[in-house]
A and B are shown apart, each in its own frame.
Chain A
Amino acid sequence: MAWLRTVSRSEADGSLAEVYAAMAARPVPDAYRPPHDDAPGIIRAHSLDAELLGRTFAVSGALHGMALDWAERELLSSVTSRTNQCFY
């Protein structure tokens, strides 16, 4: 369980529910789909502020379209996480 309170998709209403729905509708590689019905943890981590969530993942999503192929982006993200000793 996270150390910061989060709001699940089933609990969300108003603008948070809208943001969750918009993000769930985006095409996402299977590797990024968690084996549960809720939003991925890194997205739920932002759920106390729907505006923040939307703005943050607008950047994250836009980065996927930039000049590198998927394997190169995955390498960069994996090495960054490894260097930061982070599972993510």
Chain B
Amino acid sequence: MSVAVLSGADGQLPPRVAALARFAVTLTAEPWSLTGSAADELTEHGFGADAIEAATGVVAMFNYLTRVADATGIEFDYASPLPAFQPDLGRGPVARPSRPSWPVVPGEFRTLPRFPAVSEAWQRWRGYVFGSEELLTHRERQLLAGAAAEGCCDRWRADLLAGYEPENAAESRLVEFARKLTLQPWQMRAADLDALREAGYAEAALLHAIVVVALQNAESRLAMGRAMTGS
């Protein structure tokens, strides 16, 4: 089964597992397209409301972690008996729909209410990442998050941050960075961080730029996954 997952042969998976895999693919690649039918499919395969919300949280978190991995250039350092995954680095981004069709998912969906301890930890995390004034200014964080929300077709969040537009070359580089890390994280290179260094950002500020974008990608998916169930 593990090899099937690695190779994308989800059709070879047992039906219940395949349904879970389809949900993860859609929430990752096209979160804006999720509807109640996706939740219905999971329910039909025996996943309850808690499991569906948990699955949404895990997929959201891994949309954060994969972006941090891709943007920092860390090497794979876990031992695995499976064949090494060969990414398709030349793959283009998934086409985005036009803005009027983007889902509008308000703020209350950006939590995990069935898991209060996780929700609380998530709020503490986002408060630090989006709200800190150290290393990056609040404005710079909003620019990064806004560009990421646009890339996720998260209209509520993108509209909230629409007033932030880059006003200088350094801010333009931040927005370019956010767009690339959102749309094609697998194409991140050392040069992307070098561009921010050349714009004057300190090393720890680069980390914060990465995690603001990565967290917005996670949170937009959390919202759209939760909205799928309407609860």
B50 touches A84 (CB 8 A): no
- On chain B, the number of residues with a Cβ less than 8 Å from chain A's Cβ atoms is 72
Q: Which residues of A contact B89 (CB under 8 A)?
A: 85
Q: Which residues of B contact A44 (CB under 8 A)?
A: 74
Compute how far the CA of A40 lies from the CA of B83 in the bound complex, rounded to whole angstroms.
Answer: 20
B128 touches A76 (CB 8 A): no
Closest B-chain residue to A77, C-beta based? B62
Closest A-chain residue to B80, C-beta based? A31
Question: From residue A4, how far is it (CB to closest CB) to chain B in Å?
Answer: 4
Question: From residue A54, how far is it (CB to closest CB) to chain B in Å?
Answer: 9
Contact of B57 among A35, A51, A63 (CB under 8 A): A63
B210 touches A58 (CB 8 A): no
B54 touches A67 (CB 8 A): yes
Closest B-chain residue to A32, C-beta based? B78
Q: Which residues of A contact B5 (CB under 8 A)?
A: 75, 78-79, 82
A45 touches B68 (CB 8 A): yes
Interface segment among B137-145, B148-156, B157-165, B200-208: the answer is B200-208
Compute how far the CA of A46 lies from the CA of B54 in the bound complex, rounded to whole angstroms.
Answer: 24
B79 touches A34 (CB 8 A): yes
A86 touches B118 (CB 8 A): no
The listed residue with most B CB atoms (<10 A of its CB), out of A4, A41, A59, A72, is A59
A25 at interface by CB-CB < 8 Å: no
Contact of B68 among A42, A68, A77, A79 (CB under 8 A): A42
Contact of A59 among B29, B70, B75, B122 (CB under 8 A): B122
Compute how far the CA of A84 lies from the CA of B222 in the bound complex, rounded to whole angstroms.
Answer: 16
Q: Which residues of A contact B80 (CB under 8 A)?
A: 31
B78 touches A48 (CB 8 A): no
A52 touches B211 (CB 8 A): yes
Compute how far the CA of A33 lies from the CA of B77 in the bound complex, rounded to whole angstroms.
Answer: 9
Compute how far the CA of A23 lies from the CA of B8 in the bound complex, rounded to whole angstroms.
Answer: 33
Closest 5 CB pairs of A and B: A3-B73, A41-B74, A85-B186, A85-B87, A66-B54
Beyond the given pairs A42-B68, A67-B51, 13 more chain A to chain B contacts, judged by CB atoms under 8 angstroms and listed by A's residue number, are A4-B71, A4-B203, A45-B72, A48-B203, A48-B204, A55-B125, A67-B115, A68-B55, A75-B24, A79-B28, A84-B62, A86-B186, A87-B84
